[in-house]
Structure 1
Amino acid sequence: MSTSMENQGKPITTHDMVVVHRMFRREFREAAGRVRGVRHGSRAQVRLVADRVALLLDTLHHHHEVEARLLWPKLAERAPGQSELWKRMRVQHADLAARLERADALLGPWTAGGASARGEELAAALEQVSQAVGEHFDQEEREALPLVPAVVSQAEWDEIGDAASAALPKSRLLTVLGMILKDADPGEQILIMAHLPLAPRVIWRAVGERNFRRLEERLAAAVGHG
């Protein structure tokens, strides 16, 4: 079996993955500051920050779960000469999973305590996740993603994006979409929206985008930046 996908038409783009990575990089960079910034906030403000952190942790977990199921096995089979790279990717995923669990374990007590308990521990844990996320994505984008177009078809790549969207609770899909589109240019927005069914795309344009901007304003105010 040939591993080349050249006969599938123009080469696929993996840039949609880079756009999603950009969201995770930004959100995890900001997460520790949000936890620290809401230290003297109301319980409603604490819950607002906690909700964003919980969503972020859960979304990265799903992102890596989809990769482990639909991407790494294909690459390991079709590019066996890169076995050391795939091994490093899996080790990094395991390390990140442990860091995510640590942050999640601290999030509950912090939220219940109204930001008075374990806040610095949680912020430090989120900083560790942020650093590990950046290092992992740097390596993935530099070494792994350039190999994908030669061995993965457009349909297979689309399946990964579709599965990532489907893994999110429907009630949180538009918030995550807003997080991803926040720094995206028009072309990148088209790439991301292509992974959504028609209904969420319509709802996003009708009310989702406006609601997300309001959420961002409330979140900024909660941590003293509004």
Structure 2
Amino acid sequence: MSTSMENQGKPITTHDMVVVHRMFRREFGEAAGRVRGVRHGSRAQVRLVAERLELLLDTLHHHHEGEDRLLWPKLAERRPDQGELWKRMRGQHAELSAHLARAGALLGPWAAAGGSTHREELAEALDQVSKAAGDHFDEEEREALPLVAGVVSQGEWDEIGDAASAAVPKSKLFTVLGMILKETDPGEQILIMGHLPLPPRVLWRAVGERNFHRLEQRLAAAVGHG
């Protein structure tokens, strides 16, 4: 329990997880509407939506893979009295993986057909991801995160965020960063940017942020909101 002793009087910050969850809630909440709203037959528009959805599915997969590898085993070992909670968290991850796999399997054929087939199946699969993810985040934030500060060090916690950043393809890093920062206050922005090395932070301010806003405008136009 040495990590618990290290933390006494110096609680760690887990709010970055809440910020990331907020991004997933919003993006998956909009996902089915993007599939239903994109102009069918316009392959460029469909591809734009498909790229966002593929990135979103992959990012949530890596987010949970990092927790399964770096968080739940530590919590299970250090707070065995909460064994049922940790088991439930991992079970919800397994359920979400099945939903993600179903959506991913439909996404390719939908995009390849220019949005003309599998539309409603894909939209429904994304709605299932949105619902399951939202329920999981609610319980994780309410039950699990308050227990983390007592048994995980800041270094161990940061490792989870760093692993999630490292899993994002470099070409997509600013898109994911933009999605996460979209509804943040200045303090939250500092928290999230802290997981990045200095060069990407500088590049984000120089070109990344502007490019992300352009991408958002193109995406909105593709689904008839621009």
TM-score normalised by the chain length of structure 1: 0.97
Deviation at 1:4, TM superposition (A): 2.0
Deviation at 1:114, TM superposition (A): 0.4
Q: Which residue is equivalent to 1:186?
A: 186
Superposed CA deviations along residues 102-146 of structure 1, whole A, max 9, x for unmatched, are 000000110010000000000000000000000000000000000
Deviation at 1:53, TM superposition (A): 0.3
Q: Which residue is equivalent to 1:65?
A: 65
Deviation at 1:9, TM superposition (A): 5.2
Write the distance in 2 (CA, Å) between the matches of 1:39 and 1:213: 21
Superposed CA deviations along residues 6-40 of structure 1, whole A, max 9, x for unmatched, are 55652111000000000000000000000000143
Q: Which residue is equivalent to 2:46?
A: 46
Aligned amino acid, residue 18 of structure 2: V
Write the distance in 2 (CA, Å) between the matches of 1:32 and 1:174: 23
Q: Which residue is equivalent to 1:216?
A: 216
Aligned amino acid, residue 136 of structure 2: H
Q: Which residue is equivalent to 2:161?
A: 161
Q: Which residue is equivalent to 1:128?
A: 128
Identity of aligned residues (%): 82
Q: Which residue is equivalent to 1:151?
A: 151
Q: Which ranges of structure 1 fall in alignment gaps of 5 or more residues?
A: none
The question of 1:77 aligning with 2:77 is answered yes
Distance verdict in 2 for CA 1:34–1:9, change over 3 Å: same
Q: Which residue is equivalent to 1:140?
A: 140
Write the distance in 2 (CA, Å) between the matches of 1:161 and 1:115: 34
Deviation at 1:87, TM superposition (A): 0.5
Write the distance in 2 (CA, Å) between the matches of 1:85 and 1:31: 29
Deviation at 1:173, TM superposition (A): 0.7
Write the distance in 1 (CA, Å) between the matches of 2:6 and 2:147: 13
Deviation at 1:42, TM superposition (A): 1.1
Deviation at 1:193, TM superposition (A): 0.2
Spell out the pairing of 1:27-46 with structure 2 (5 A cutoff): 27-40=27-40, 42-46=42-46
Write the distance in 1 (CA, Å) between the matches of 2:3 and 2:79: 8
- SS at 1:4's partner residue? helix
TM-score normalised by the chain length of structure 2: 0.97
- Contact 1:5-1:153 at 8 Å conserved across structures: no
Q: Which residue is equivalent to 2:200?
A: 200
Write the distance in 2 (CA, Å) between the matches of 1:172 and 1:106: 22
Q: Which ranges of structure 2 fall in alignment gaps of 5 or more residues?
A: none
